[in-house]
Homo-oligomer: A and B are copies of this chain.
Amino acid sequence: MQRYTTLILAGLVIVLAALLAGTLIFVNNQPVQQRAIQPLAEVAAMEPDSSKWGVNFPNQYASFLKTRDNNIATTYGGSSDFSHLEKDPRQKILFAGMPFSKDYNEDRGHEWALTDVNKTKRLNLDKENPKRTPGTCYSCKSANMPGLWAEMGLEGVGKTFFGDLTPRVDSSIGCANCHEPGTMRLIVTNPALEEALQAQGKDWKTFTRQEMRSLVCANCHVEYYFAGESKYLTFPWEKGTKVEEMWEYYTEIGFKDWEYPDTKTPMLKAQHPEYEMYTAGSTHYNAGVACADCHMPYVREGAAKYSSHNIHSPMLNPQRACGQCHTDTEAVVRRVNLIQEQTYKTKIAAEDAIVDAINAIKAAAANPNSDAALLEEARLLHRQAQFYWDYVSAENSMGFHNPEYALKILAEATNLARQAQMKAAQAANDPSLLQTGTYYQSGPSGQ
């Protein structure tokens, strides 16, 4: 009897051992915090040379270097430097009179940032020109910037001519833009971000690690402008980070990036408000997902597990990026494609409406009998329509970061553009300015 009991119990022990082994494998597969290790090399604060950090963190560094070779286009973006102006010539018209109409390429990976800023035709390197490019344009392009900001301040950088800063800027975006050496803690390195948060009564040092895994992206991936003569890098966040709140801010301070030729509209150029778009109540943000969760998914190589620093579109590796949470990644990709297609079509409709408005305002402005007050109303509607459109167009996700918000903004942009056109026709008392589809009538140049 005792013998049978022993046999049965022994059998049960085997089952239990299997369960234990399974549990251990499961636990071992969970994300783990970076283990505290003795650094191999001491790295100075704000060290611009990422290869020095790479001695201590070879996996992260090796993956970061892959941003040099990830030049792959997705349907609407990715890391290939295709020309937006060639892909959608409406943008030549929309940005007429400012540098984006000359050269507007999709961004490549972080390792190319410095190369690409130095070769863009948007630069004005004529030192005597009052519109010469300021040093501020290096802000988001280099790991030298944290050190230069510490030394010169935002004002010093802004007052320095771009060309004069060039000898001191030799590293592309790197470790120093987001990390503190030693602890490798995620930190705010851009003083403009720190100041923008302070203006809202926020202190990034109280943010959780998961919040920082999005906030460090806001060191660069935000809406900003260059304030005043010193070209002081400023985020227009004083009233909040929604497009409506930034619009109100820009209206209040009367800022313009340029004046649109012939219409004389005081224009705003939206930058790349990924952080603001994503955090405006999007479904992924609401679910606690950080930028890094999708753009820097964990990878495993042998015994090591780390965040990929080969930052790029999740559409280039949906199984790794989306598959952490979504089991059916094929279905996810179908959804992303549909959302982006819907956003793209709505964006193009907004562009067509703005081109119509521009053509109408141009004609009304050229008419000496036009009502000046109505014409001014038309200009302000054009200004708002184009800023709202650009807020979605320049944002790097074709709506995916926050689909409903992006589409709501585009619906408003189109409505505003049509109202701008109507106001111009009223100003000139000329219904012939109400032509629609003028972009198509006049060929790809639209002129």
Contacts and interface: CB of A to CB of B under 8 A. Distances in A.
A434 B10 CA distance: 89
A403 interface: yes
Interface string A394-436: 0000010001110110111011001101110110011110101
Per DSSP, chain A at the interface is: helix
Contact of A418 (B343, B405, B419): B419
A5 interface: yes
Interface string A280-305: 01010011000000000000000000
Tell me which of A15, A419, A423 has the highest count of chain B C-beta atoms within 10 A of its own C-beta. Answer: A419
Contacts of A418: 414-415, 418-419, 422
A55 interface: no
A418 B412 CA distance: 12
B415 A281 contact: no
A283 B335 contact: yes
B415 A353 contact: yes
A51 B9 CA distance: 56
Interface in A8-30: 9-10, 12-13, 15-16, 19
B16 A12 contact: yes
Given A346-B408, A403-B403, A403-B404, A338 B281 contact: yes
A16 to B, nearest CB: 6
Given A411-B414, A422-B418, A425-B434, A9 B19 contact: no
Nearest to A335: B286
A119 interface: no
A426 B415 contact: no
Contacts of A16: 12, 15-16
Contacts of A343: 404, 408
A50 to B, nearest CB: 37
A6 interface: yes
B15 A404 contact: no
Contact of A6 (B9, B404, B410): B9
Interface of A: 2, 5-6, 9-10, 12-13, 15-16, 19, 281, 283, 286-287, 328, 331, 334-335, 338-339, 342-343, 345-346, 349-350, 353, 399, 403-405, 407-408, 410-412, 414-415, 418-419, 421-423, 425-426, 429-432, 434, 436
22 contacts: A6-B9, A9-B12, A12-B12, A286-B334, A287-B331, A343-B408, A345-B408, A346-B408, A346-B411, A346-B412, A403-B404, A407-B408, A414-B415, A418-B419, A419-B436, A421-B422, A422-B422, A422-B425, A422-B434, A425-B431, A429-B431, A431-B431
Q: Which 3 pairs from chain A and chain B are nearest by CB? A: A9-B9, A418-B418, A411-B411
